[in-house]
Amino acid sequence: MSEIKRNFFKLCFWILGWKVVGNPPKIKKYMITVAPHTSGWDFLVGIAAKNIVGLEGQFLGKKSLFDLPIVGQVMRYCGGHPVNRTTKSNVVDNVAELFQKNEEFVMVIAPEGTRNYQKEWKTGFYFIALKAKVPIVMAGFDFKRKLVELKEPFVPTGDVLKDIEMMKGYYKNFTGKYPELGVH
């Protein structure tokens, strides 16, 4: 990672009053969940935070965005992988395979799956972590406090409902760009 790039994003965060609390864990493979996901601005905040902490994480995004001329190129450059939800491809198996094929691999996913309010989260991220046998690191984006917080990793227990309720409890402490669309 370029020190120039890191310093550029640190300067941007400093000018805008944002800060990052916490660091990525010193392990080779893990999943990061990011919430609340309420705005396209989350992408820019996430890219800045990723560069500030020196994270080489990948992410999933809507295939239609990757099909756009410049946008798709930027997303790929930033570590994006397109997901086509209209096909029968098994995203869980495909991403778990990426974890298995790589000596070091970090996948960043918004469990809400969309910028709109979702009472029920998509559970694919959870089953990817289970199948790949990797811990989950929660990252909260708070537009009110201008804060990105990285939590310590936890190992999913296999009790999807219990673990997701615990995660939602954590994310309720963060205010998205559009609070009414955040985690309730």
Q: How far apart are CA 117 and CA 168, in angstroms?
A: 13
Q: How far apart are CA 84 and CA 125, in angstroms?
A: 15
pLDDT at 108 over 90: yes
Is the full-model pTM beyond 0.85?
yes
Reading the block at residue 172, the tokens are: 């309720």
pLDDT at 75 over 90: no
Classify 38 in phi/psi space as left (phi over 0), alpha (psi -120 to 50) or beta.
Answer: alpha
Which of 61-65, 66-70, 83-87 shows the highest mean pLDDT?
66-70
What is residue 158's predicted lDDT score, i.e. its pLDDT?
96
Instruction: Tell me the average pLDDT across 172-178.
Output: 94
Mapped to the 3 state alphabet, what secondary structure does 67-124 carry?
Answer: CCHHHHHHHHHCCEEEECCCCCCCHHHHHHHHHHHCCCEEEEECCCCCCCCCCCCCCH
What is residue 81's predicted lDDT score, i.e. its pLDDT?
84
What is residue 94's predicted lDDT score, i.e. its pLDDT?
87
Which comes out higher in pLDDT, residue 165 or 183? 165
What is residue 2's predicted lDDT score, i.e. its pLDDT?
84
The length of the chain in residues reads 184
Question: Is 31 within 8 Å of 135 (Cβ atoms)?
Answer: yes
Q: What string of DSSP letters covers 126-175? A: HHHHHHHT--EEEEEEETTTTEEEEPPPB---S-HHHHHHHHHHHHTT--
Using alpha carbons, select from 31, 44, 1 the residue that is nearest to residue 138: 31
Residue 112 confidence class, pLDDT cut points 50, 70, 90:
confident
Q: Give φ, ψ of 31 to 5 degrees.
A: -105, 140
Reading the block at residue 131, the tokens are: 């199948």
pLDDT at 146 over 90: yes
Q: Among 6-20, 63-77, 133-147, which stretch is predicted with the lowest mean pLDDT?
A: 63-77
Percent share of the chain, pLDDT over 90: 64
Q: Give φ, ψ of 39 to 5 degrees.
A: -155, 155
Q: How far apart are CA 93 and CA 147, in angstroms?
A: 33
What is residue 89's predicted lDDT score, i.e. its pLDDT?
63
**How does pLDDT run across 8-67, given as a tens digit for each residue?**
999 999 999 999 999 999 999 999 999 999 998 998 999 999 999 999 888 887 888 899
